[in-house]
Amino acid sequence: MELEKRLLELMVRQLEQSIHKADLVQIRYDDRFKLPADFIAKAWALVDHDALLSSLAKRLESELVDRLVNQMAAEMATDIKQILSVRERREAVRSVVRDNIDKLTKGA
């Protein structure tokens, strides 16, 4: 009895999810409402262009910085891989790191 009840609840939930995900009303691209050109022109005239440009500049600056940092990190990672690909260099770097870690931990 409990199994039947849980199964029915699960089926109802699945049906609700299917209905929720379905696009019951579709408007074709050609049938969508088109705003008049003069309305769009009036709306564009009301836009604070200086604020818009300032906001756009901040966003572009942020995106450029992110991309530059990511590019530099990828470039550095490639360089480090190339440097450490030689066993002798890798061991020399490890030796320097160990010495410095030892100095730091003895001082603490």
What is the overall mean pLDDT for the chain? 90
Cβ neighbours around 84 below 10 Å, total:
13
Residue 89 · residue 83 · CB < 8 Å: yes
pLDDT of residue 107: 67
The residue-averaged pLDDT of 6-30 equals 85
- Cβ within 8 Å of residue 90, ≥6 positions away: 84
Range in 22-26, 72-76, 86-90 the model is least confident about = 22-26
Give residue 25's pLDDT band: very low, low, confident or very high (50, 70, 90).
confident
pLDDT of residue 42: 94
Percent of the chain with pLDDT over 70: 98
- Predicted confidence (pLDDT) at residue 26 exceeds the cutoff of 80: no
DSSP classification of residue 29: G
Tell me what pLDDT residue 108 has: 56
Position 50 pLDDT exceeds 70: yes
Q: Give the Cα separation of 21 and 16 in Å (integer).
A: 9
